[in-house]
Chains A and B, each alone.
Chain A
Amino acid sequence: MKKAIITVVGRDCVGIIAKVCTYLADSNINILDISQTIVGGYFNMMMVVDVAGSEKSFDAISAELAEVGGTIGCVIRIQLEDIFDMMHRL
């Protein structure tokens, strides 16, 4: 398993989760956890995913997710989970 965190931030509109999830399914990336809120009209989603099953390189996934974000007016980032683990867990 290779865990990564996806964050999606942008103005709320129809189909954000659908778009992101479709991309992940097409890329064989498994979703382990999703949480999502809307604050002041801004959509804010975090996902924990497993990228180990995908044949795409991490770089490619990162670039393609950014592209998907562009089409729905959101900023989408993917980061390996280690950076959060290292910083916040002993």
Chain B
Amino acid sequence: MISRSEILETNQMIEKENLDVRTITMGISLLDCIDSDRGKLCANIRDKILKLAGNLVATGDEIGREYGIPVVNKRISVTPIGIVGAAACRSEDDFTEIAKELDRAAKDVGVNFLGGYSAVVAKGMTTADMMLMRSIPQALAETERVCSSVNVGSTRTGIDMDAVRIMGEVIRATAERTKDADSIGCAKLVVFCNAPDDNPFMAGAFHGVTEADAVINVGVSGPGVVKKALESVRGASFEVLCETIKKTAFKITRVGQLVAKRASEMLGVPFGIVDLSLAPTPAVGDSVAEILQEIGLEYPGAPGTTAALALLNDQVKKGGVMASSYVGGLSGAFIPVSEDQGMIDAVNAGCLTLEKLEAMTCVCSVGLDMIAIPGDTSAATISGIIADEMAIGMVNQKTTAVRLIPVIGKGVGEQAEFGGLLGYAPIMPVNRFDCSAFVKREGRIPAPIHSFKN
């Protein structure tokens, strides 16, 4: 029989420590919607999304009420549109029309984001991929709920530097198109290396071609719960610290597993994976930075940050892996700047720099995430930052990502306001030295050697 203290512990996590199910994401394959006629393709896409995800939001809410835990987001990921639209699209405008159809479908089923306006071009780009990438600025400016991602590299294939160069330009153009709202379009655009096929988290979610027709993936969260648990072991040894994180991660992940199984049952769609990520929000007490502080750092960015984060990330995985039959997605600690009040404070205190964040991404998921940079940063510099981050992922066989927001019209010392879950962000300085001759080179960086590891 469950004891009173266990019931209290669970409900305290939910009520006071922001434990929630961050997202139930339904992955939907659009491969069977492909048609050479754009109108027919759009109709097929709409029909399939409405048929499969029509009850997604209501089901998510019902599960939340059954277990008394908030299911914050209900979302959809689809097959990369660079593949789905290849037969029908003759121009960038054709791709934008698909984005608008996806946006309408997302609104109609009531999900707040739909991911998969994507291209997977780790080794090379098809004509369609290139058109899709060039259409991203317009597509993101003219839609509300569509999220876009481009995978430009992998450990097996190397880095497609032509795609990296284009994405620098695309990020700048996206910022320009949405400059009236502090370039918020860029918050919906991620550049990846080693992108997972089953990531439930936005903005980088897409339904990979290795996946089944439809699948339910769940992302749990709960940085506040880990922080609270660590408060009780202040000053204790690393062994005690690690044990505490593992136990907490286990408990959090079990909730994700339960909700994923239930959602899969109710929707009649197979269960895919639980993503173990610790995902912060701007709410106080829902912060990964606060965990690092609790481990013993004045602010994230102080010496010791990379080690503390490596430890945290690893213990979360060790605890979480046993709690779920299938773990996947990104599964690690997220360190977005704008979505984490503790990270914002660290930047404002002068403790956390872009370079330190880059080092931190070597040991955790996912990458340089939600970082506002000066609006006059050149496309070549953005491409250089992307290339660096992709190289970290390629060599270390991990997912890395870049979600940078060049805030047009603003500079260092100012602040970008995005609102809601996306929060706000102080604009961080970027190294001003030039890398354009490097970025201008054509072709790709070869895949790294898989032996002689040092």
Contact = CB atoms under 8 A, between A and B. Distances in A.
B433 to A, nearest CB: 51
B438 interface: no
B2 A58 contact: no
A79 B2 contact: no
A46 interface: yes
Contacts of A85: 2
Contacts of A58: 65-66
A35 B9 CA distance: 16
Given A62-B65, A79-B66, A86 B4 contact: no
B7 interface: yes
A5 B7 CA distance: 9
A46 B258 contact: no
Interface in B1-38: 1-2, 4, 6-7, 9-11
A46 B4 contact: yes
A35 B10 CA distance: 17
B7 A86 contact: no
Given A59-B62, A83-B258, A35 B4 contact: yes
A25 B9 CA distance: 29
Nearest to A85: B2
A12 interface: no
B255 interface: yes
A60 to B, nearest CB: 11
A11 interface: no
A84 to B, nearest CB: 4
Contacts of B11: 7, 77
B7 A59 contact: no
Given A7-B7, A83-B255, A83-B258, A88 B2 contact: yes
Contact of B251 (A77, A78, A80, A87): A87
Contact of B10 (A33, A48, A62, A87): A87
Contacts of A83: 10, 67-69, 255, 258
B257 A84 contact: no
A82 interface: yes
B2 to A, nearest CB: 4
Nearest to B69: A83
B254 A87 contact: yes
A73 to B, nearest CB: 18
Given A33-B1, A79-B67, A88 B258 contact: no
Contacts of A77: 11, 68
A29 to B, nearest CB: 15
Contact of A86 (B65, B66, B255): B255
In the complex, the 9 A-B pairs of residues with the closest C-beta atoms, listed nearest first = A79-B68, A83-B67, A86-B254, A88-B6, A84-B2, A86-B258, A87-B251, A87-B254, A80-B66
29 contacts: A5-B2, A5-B7, A7-B11, A46-B4, A46-B7, A48-B2, A58-B65, A59-B65, A77-B11, A77-B68, A78-B68, A79-B66, A79-B67, A79-B68, A80-B67, A81-B2, A82-B67, A82-B258, A83-B255, A84-B2, A84-B6, A85-B2, A86-B258, A87-B10, A87-B251, A88-B2, A88-B6, A88-B9, A88-B10
Given A59-B62, A62-B65, A82-B67, 11 more contacts: A7-B7, A7-B11, A80-B66, A84-B2, A84-B7, A86-B255, A87-B10, A87-B254, A87-B255, A88-B10, A89-B2
Interface of B: 1-2, 4, 6-7, 9-11, 62, 65-69, 251, 254-255, 257-258
Interface of A: 5, 7, 33, 35, 46, 48, 58-59, 62, 77-89
